[in-house]
């Protein structure tokens, strides 16, 4: 008797079906060898994804741990309990994270994706080893293609390095250059994600916190959700009984979005349930009923919260987000001016690292704590803004509805962003802590034009996104008043 996580027909192909990720071990009982093989492939893929996520967390925590270690050694220089905290430990941590980031990004995650999509070569017996052989060969061919493209790009950028000696110098030249290209892509993605995350985070916080009574009528939203739930439930019973649309003929316009939804935190896509029939109609109504029930429960819980939490926590959270965003933009502007004047050095690491010599901030431990908070804030905003991008919104993980291939792709995206987070913090001047190991030897960090242009674009886009967020309501109202103005009977004199 075997326990597996998916339900596959006996006559299905040996390739991986669109498996839905579950939040717990909801296994089905089966004795099919094909299902055991699929279960084994899924398990190995999830192990690789878990390892890559652990490396992503380590990459995001590199700068906070290093800054905190430096301040601890400054506060307790002669303490026996912190003798283990030294420069070699932090240097080794950066080197290991860099190594495992390359391993996960260039070997493990591609292997997991190819392994889940493999079926074995034609003519061989279908099984685990056939898939392993196919995955290994395809991965080797992919590595040859990537290394060839890397050699061409490096030859175009630096013609002096394009010779046979550098072609064979794989570990010390091409892998760092390849990671430099990937980190540059990650930094560009952060340039898009972070300003959008500044705006999106206000809506996310407003979704989980209860707004004051003068900003939101929870009782009215709760009764609207309950009436909508009763209406959808009656329509579902009618569709189950007749198998046809509950309106005949089906209307030409889609269902309107319920007024209880928050524009900042819900997707305002049109609902085409009124044009569906039979099983599609029942499935769509069932999903809609489930969403409405969840929203009604949340509203019921929120309207029973205390007045202190409702009138104090939400304004404090909004003010805190505004303060963190303003401090970040001001620090970027200060860093830009210092780069132009020549006070600030480029983020490329050129000197020997030593821990516990001097504080990294003029404010001492308070400034170091502020830097750590801002780094975590940038990580949160970039994570929130990642799935706001139009071409990545469909990749957002959903509970019990995420295929394994999407999980692998999301792990790759998170790994790229988290590996680029130390570079982002150093480029924007959030901290003065030098990038250690191979992170500090990325060549494009020494390009003055790239670093200066990045600071200018980041400050400009963040300011424009925030201005658009806080003035959108006023602009819509002014535009509506402008359209409603009288067009006749106007006399100037």
> pLDDT tier at 467 (50, 70, 90 boundaries)?
confident
Mean pLDDT calculated for residue range 162-189:
75
Q: Which residue among 263, 282, 302 closes a domain? A: 302
From residue 393, how far is each of 194, 420, 439 by CA, in Å? 15, 21, 30
Whether the pLDDT of residue 9 is over 70: the answer is no
Range of the domain at 272: 218-302
* Helix (H) or strand (E) run with residue 156 in it: helix 128-157
Nearest to 423 by CA among 58, 63, 103: 63
- DSSP label at 453? H
Residues 232-267 have pLDDT tens digits of: 788 777 777 765 555 544 444 444 444 334 433 333
Give residue 224's Cα distance to chain centre: 33
Shared domain for 233 and 179, answered yes or no, is no
Shared domain for 182 and 226, answered yes or no, is no
CA 249, 252, 258, 264 torsion-angle sign: positive
Q: Is residue 491 part of a domain?
A: no
Mean pLDDT calculated for residue range 25-32:
47
| Least confidently predicted of 42-56, 88-102, 244-258, 400-414 | 244-258
| Percent of the chain scoring above 70 in pLDDT | 75
Residues 116-133 have pLDDT tens digits of: 888 777 766 777 788 888
Count the residues in the chain: 493
Q: Is residue 489 part of a domain?
A: no
Shared domain for 344 and 429, answered yes or no, is yes
Q: Are 349 and 434 in contact (CB under 8 A)?
A: yes
Q: Are 372 and 62 in contact (CB under 8 A)?
A: no
Shared domain for 25 and 141, answered yes or no, is yes
Q: Is residue 485 part of a domain?
A: no
Q: Is residue 70 part of a domain?
A: yes
Whether the pLDDT of residue 376 is over 90: the answer is yes
Shared domain for 258 and 240, answered yes or no, is yes
pLDDT at 53: 92
pLDDT at 254: 47
With a CB cutoff of 8 Å and minimum separation 6, the contacts of 493 are none
pLDDT at 373: 92
Q: What is the 3-state secondary structure (H, E, C) of 269-302?
A: CCECHHHCCHHHHHHHHHHHHHHHHHHHHHHHHH
Shared domain for 128 and 233, answered yes or no, is no
Q: Which residue among 302, 337, 358 closes a domain? A: 302
Shared domain for 261 and 295, answered yes or no, is yes
Whether the pLDDT of residue 487 is over 80: the answer is no
CA 276, 282, 284, 289 torsion-angle sign: positive
Q: Are 333 and 459 in contact (CB under 8 A)?
A: yes
Whether the pLDDT of residue 33 is over 70: the answer is yes
pLDDT at 277: 53
Most confident of 280-284, 360-364, 406-410: 406-410
Give the separation between CA 211 and CA 216, rounded to whole angstroms.
6
Shared domain for 10 and 90, answered yes or no, is yes
Q: How many domains does the chain have?
A: 2
How many other CB atoms are there within 10 angstroms of residue 28's CB atom? 13
Q: End-to-end alpha-carbon separation of the chain, Å? A: 93
* Greater model confidence, 457 or 275: 457
Shared domain for 338 and 226, answered yes or no, is no
Shared domain for 396 and 298, answered yes or no, is no
pLDDT at 122: 72
Shared domain for 337 and 473, answered yes or no, is yes
Q: Are 46 and 115 in contact (CB under 8 A)?
A: no
Nearest to 66 by CA among 434, 430, 439, 437: 434
Nearest to 221 by CA among 294, 296, 305, 311: 296
Q: Is residue 490 part of a domain?
A: no
Give the separation between CA 112 and CA 117, rounded to whole angstroms.
9
Q: Is residue 370 part of a domain?
A: yes
Q: What is the 3-state secondary structure (H, E, C) of 377-423?
A: HHHHHHHHHHCCCHHHHHHCCCCCCCCHHHHHHHHHHHHHHHHHHHH
pLDDT, mean over the chain: 76
Q: Is residue 231 part of a domain?
A: yes
> pLDDT tier at 172 (50, 70, 90 boundaries)?
low
With a CB cutoff of 8 Å and minimum separation 6, the contacts of 322 are none
pTM of the model: 0.72
Q: Is residue 184 part of a domain?
A: yes
Q: Are 190 and 382 in contact (CB under 8 A)?
A: yes
Q: Which residue among 302, 329, 362 closes a domain? A: 302
Residues 289-323 have pLDDT tens digits of: 888 888 887 777 777 777 777 677 778 888 898 89
| Percent of the chain scoring above 90 in pLDDT | 8
Mean pLDDT calculated for residue range 354-362:
76
Give the separation between CA 369 and CA 75, rounded to whole angstroms.
14
Shared domain for 315 and 297, answered yes or no, is no
């Amino acid at each position: 008797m075997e326990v597996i996580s998916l339900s596959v027909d006996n006559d299905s192909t040996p390739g991986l079906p669109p498996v839905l990720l579950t939040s717990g071990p909801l296994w089905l009982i089966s004795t099919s060898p094909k299902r055991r093989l699929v279960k084994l492939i899924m398990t190995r893929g999830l192990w690789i994804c878990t390892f890559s996520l652990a490396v992503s967390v380590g990459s995001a925590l590199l700068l906070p741990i290093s800054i905190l270690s430096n301040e601890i050694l400054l506060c307790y220089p002669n303490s026996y309990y912190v003798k283990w905290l030294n420069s070699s430990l932090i240097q080794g941590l950066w080197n290991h994270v860099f190594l495992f980031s390359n391993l996960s990004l260039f070997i493990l995650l591609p292997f997991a994706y190819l392994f889940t999509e493999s079926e074995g070569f034609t003519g061989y017996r279908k099984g685990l080893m056939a898939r392993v052989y196919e995955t290994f060969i395809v991965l080797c061919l992919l590595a040859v293609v990537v290394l060839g493209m890397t050699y061409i790009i490096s030859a175009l950028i630096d013609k002096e390095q394009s010779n046979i000696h550098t072609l064979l110098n794989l570990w010390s030249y091409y892998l760092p250059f390849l990671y430099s290209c990937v980190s540059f892509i990650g930094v560009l993605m952060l340039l898009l994600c972070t300003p959008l995350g500044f705006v999106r985070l206000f809506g996310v916080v407003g979704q989980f916190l209860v707004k004051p009574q003068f900003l939101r009528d929870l009782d009215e939203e709760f009764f609207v959700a309950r009436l909508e739930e009763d209406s959808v439930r009656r329509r579902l019973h009618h569709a189950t009984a007749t198998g046809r649309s509950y309106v005949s003929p089906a209307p030409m316009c889609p269902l309107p979005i319920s007024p209880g939804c928050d524009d900042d935190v819900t997707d305002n896509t049109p609902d085409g349930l009124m044009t569906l029939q039979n099983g599609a109609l029942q499935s769509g109504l069932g999903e809609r009923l489930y969403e409405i029930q969840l929203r009604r429960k949340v509203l019921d819980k929120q309207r029973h919260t205390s007045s202190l939490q409702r009138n104090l926590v939400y304004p404090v959270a909004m003010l805190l987000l505004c303060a963190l965003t303003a401090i970040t933009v001001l620090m970027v502007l200060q860093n830009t001016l210092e780069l132009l004047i020549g006070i600030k050095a480029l983020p490329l690491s050129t000197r020997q690292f030593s821990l516990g010599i001097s504080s990294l901030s003029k404010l001492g431990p308070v400034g170091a704590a502020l830097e750590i908070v801002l780094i975590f804030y940038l990580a949160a905003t970039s994570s929130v803004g990642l799935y706001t991008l139009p071409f990545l919104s469909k990749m957002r993980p959903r509970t019990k509805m995420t295929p394994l291939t999407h999980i692998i792709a999301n792990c790759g995206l998170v790994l790229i962003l988290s590996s680029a987070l130390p570079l982002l913090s150093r480029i924007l001047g959030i901290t003065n802590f030098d990038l250690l190991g191979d992170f500090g030897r990325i060549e494009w960090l020494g390009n003055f034009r790239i670093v200066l242009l990045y600071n200018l674009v980041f400050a400009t886009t963040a300011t424009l996104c925030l201005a658009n967020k806080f003035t959108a309501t006023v602009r819509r109202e002014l535009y509506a008043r402008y359209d409603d103005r009288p067009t006749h009977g106007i006399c100037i004199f």
